[in-house]
Amino acid sequence: MSNLSDIATHTRAGNATMVDSDGVLKWAPHNLVKYSEQFDNADWSKIGVTAGADFLTEDTSTGNHRVLNITGISVPAVLHTNAIEVKPKGRTRVRITNNNLAGSTFDLVGSGSVVSGAGTITALQDGWYRISSELVSPTTERLVLYLDNGTGLSYTGDGVSGIYIRNAHLYRSDLGGMVNNPSTGDSYVPTTSAAVYLPRVGHHIYNGSAWVDEGYFHESEARTNLLLNSGTLSTQSVTVTAVPHTLHFTGTGTITLSGVSTAGPLVGTGTGENNRVSLTFTPTAGTLTATVSGTVTNVQLEAASTPSSYIPTSGSTVTRAEDTMTIPAVNMPWSGSAVSIQMEGTMTYADLGVGPQFEFLRWKQDANNEIGLWLNTDTTRVGDFFAVQQAAGVFDAVGSPAYSPGINVPFNIASRHGSTFINGAVDGTALTANTTPTALPDLSATDMQIGFDFMGTIKQFRVWADDIGDAGIAEASV
């Protein structure tokens, strides 16, 4: 058995937020530094030093001796953390900053100490230290590491002294900070030629008394926060179109709408993500004014029928990119005679009157050969679950009413597919099998797309390379 995040390929072209186990809204694990373990790469600019993959050696020039990684990523002027692991190689003092010298200087002796600035240092094994400094970022984010001979950053090098370095990382640390990388257990996320934005594993949802780990947070739709300076909102007007919009926030204040919509008002119930309130409405096209009274925090207005994860803004709108998740064919079990599938999680959806509205998974070779698990809202089929398959253009399906629209709706579904049958199960109950199929599509060389059209969490996902029977899919979907 493998973890979904281990066998799947996840992509998202940017940052995203999630809720950690303490109920605090944080950034998903990410690293803006390129070539985080290759300091001899050209993306690391060197002055007064030579560099190997894991060390710096000062030359004999007079001046600064440092490396600088320019990420090339434009970021807002908010708190970011610069961090790196270092070990003495003749020099025992270093400084880390984001290129404005207002960072922190550290002594790498004994248990380590902070000489200046508000940094942190942690002694690791074998003489290594993890050092970090939290600073408001410049417009283009960067990480800079200076050698210090004890008299300052400008000195005449001896040509032999330096430090060992590894695991450079730079991440956004406003809001509540960043969730740790589950693979490393700390803030480090390895990179090569580009910044890395990891999937949101370990997203938590409040169940009324505790924060529950609901698994893999996946949003296949890109969303844009139309409101500016969203951390603590003040009254403002925005231009909207005549489509459904959703407004949501935390706090104890109130937002009253005027202009092209008078829906609401939306009244806060308290601080924290467990008190996020939302209002969905359809304005006419034009100017919408949101009047704020009291404390309204982490607010979002998006052109959609449901709320999505919070997208912080400053002086301009911000778009969160969509998540994609693919399981390569080489990681999928396949026998050729039958396959069974199960998926559990939570979903957020509204009745859009389309079918399918959600595709929990798409395993599609071409227009004539596929397996899929769908959620339908077409006409009278609102919330119907369908298991489908198509072989050589012959389409077969089985479905049943299952889930009403809502926010964080729990689901547990399963299916079995063969050359003479297809069936599904919902929350422990198997449907009536469809025995009209005459072939099973050959998907042995086809990648599977998980959450192809899906907003929610995936707590468990399983595939068997055989038929586990109606009793099996009923049990699997409990």
- The span from the CA of 355 to the CA of 382, in Å, is 9
Token pair belonging to 236? 């403002």
Predicted local distance difference test score (pLDDT) of residue 388: 97
Selection from 29, 90, 34 nearest residue 67 by Cα: 34
**Mean local confidence (pLDDT), 335-348:** 96
User: Tens digits of per-residue pLDDT, 56-101?
Assistant: 999 999 999 999 997 777 788 899 999 999 999 999 999 999 876 6
- Please report the DSSP string for 245-297 in residue order: EEEEEEBS-EEEEEES-----EE--BSSGGG-EEEEE-PPSEEEEEEEES--E
DSSP classification of residue 319: E
In sequence order, which residues have a C-beta less than 8 Å from that of residue 463 and are 6 or more positions away?
A: 332, 333, 339, 340, 341, 342
Selection from 374, 248, 350 nearest residue 299 by Cα: 248
Place of tokens 């400094």: 133
CATH, range 29-196? 2.60.120
| Contact predicate 304/244, CB 8 Å | yes
Answer yes or no: is pLDDT of 296 > 80: yes
User: Tens digits of per-residue pLDDT, 230-271?
Assistant: 999 999 999 999 999 999 999 999 999 999 999 999 999 999
146, exposed or middle or buried, with CB in 10 Å at 0-12, 13-18, 19+? buried
- CA separation, residue 436 to residues 141, 391, 396, 422, 440 (Å): 59, 12, 7, 8, 11
Predicted local distance difference test score (pLDDT) of residue 154: 96
Token pair belonging to 395? 């389409």
**Band of residue 378 on the pLDDT scale cut at 50, 70, 90:** confident
Tell how far CA 237 is from the center of its chain: 29
User: Tens digits of per-residue pLDDT, 254-265?
Assistant: 999 999 999 999
**Mean local confidence (pLDDT), 43-50:** 96
Domain ranges of the chain: 29-196, 223-320, 324-476
Predicted local distance difference test score (pLDDT) of residue 4: 75
**Band of residue 1 on the pLDDT scale cut at 50, 70, 90:** low
Average pLDDT, the chain: 95
| Contact predicate 287/260, CB 8 Å | yes
**Band of residue 23 on the pLDDT scale cut at 50, 70, 90:** very high
CATH class of 223-320: mainly beta
Place of tokens 């283009």: 140
Label residue 264 left, alpha or beta by phi (over 0 means left) and psi (-120 to 50 means alpha). left
Answer yes or no: is pLDDT of 140 > 80: no
DSSP classification of residue 243: S
**Mean local confidence (pLDDT), 121-137:** 94
User: Tens digits of per-residue pLDDT, 352-362?
Assistant: 888 888 999 99
CATH class of 324-476: mainly beta
pTM, two decimals, is: 0.94
| Contact predicate 53/40, CB 8 Å | yes
- CA separation, residue 297 to residues 248, 276, 449 (Å): 10, 10, 35
Selection from 403, 392, 32, 458 nearest residue 205 by Cα: 458
- CA separation, residue 157 to residues 57, 67, 345, 387, 418 (Å): 9, 15, 58, 69, 72
Predicted local distance difference test score (pLDDT) of residue 2: 62
Token pair belonging to 356? 């399918």
Q: How many helices (H) and strands (E) does the chain have?
A: 2, 43
